[in-house]
Structure 1
């Protein structure tokens, strides 16, 4: 149980760090900020539930916040992908512009957020 708890916490912190890094570029920043807010609230609620919830309880709210963070990250990535020409033309004048590492981190963090959300929903507090 301790190993599962530590691995879920590390997964959450890794995705949060990836999201903070993904905000740096023009990856539809308003939705990415909302994603970071959802993920941060989820982590704080998880810590609160970990110490206050009774034994046998499930982390539903934490999981739902993580899934919402994954969905907003997915929406931001889709918007950036579909409007890449306008965003990249606005960012650089050269014709060799590319997405960059923040876009890739956004796409990589989306499945991690959804997986951690599902893990939180199935995670039961034990003694």
Structure 2
């Protein structure tokens, strides 16, 4: 049983790391001469990269703020879920389920899905000054979808998991 618990904790920590990388790193949409994320746009010049923050002058600023907020909330919920799991591990009686932790993970999963879906639908409107047809989704965007799958699987594992000797 200790191996299963260690695997679940490792899986949960991996989910947290994926969410942190996807939220912070600047690679949601990349091209030859630019890379953008939910925080800023960066244009590659010959000497360096010139980055500008996503500004409130965009008509879709509320939508990008929604993506930012839900990714931050997903990361926080995933961290709280790990803390909840560790606390419940020592406090629950034998055979009780980790339902609270599963609910927190499911909410984290939902937040990641909302953020990635909004970005998928509206990424060309978030960065109107760039030639986005020349780019592709970057690894941070892909990590966000992988984090969605990990948090979903993690929440299902918590619903199934029972504390045994």
Aligned-residue Cα RMSD (Å) equals: 1.5
Which residue in the other structure is 2:149 paired with? 111
Distance 1:17 1:6 in 2: 16
1:51-109: CA deviations, max 9, x gaps?
1111111100001111111111001110000001112435xx34424332111100111
More strand by share: 2
Which residue in the other structure is 1:39 paired with? 78
The one of the two structures with greater contact order (alpha-carbon pairs below 8 A, sep at least 6) is 1
More helix by share: 1
Note the residue ranges of structure 1 that are not aligned, 5 or more in a row. none
* Structure 1 counterpart of 2:158, from 101, 120, 124: 120
TM-score (norm 2): 0.71
Contact 1:88 1:97 in 2 (8 A): no
TM-score (norm 1): 0.91
Which runs of at least 4 in structure 1 moved beyond 6 Å after TM superposition?
none
Distance 1:89 1:69 in 2: 30
Distance 1:87 1:15 in 2: 26
CA shift for structure 1 position 8: 0.7
User: When the two structures are aligned, how many residues end up with a matched partner?
Assistant: 125
Which residue in the other structure is 2:56 paired with? none
- Work out which of the two has the higher radius of gyration on C-alpha atoms and give 1 or 2: 2
Distance 2:153 2:142 in 1: 18
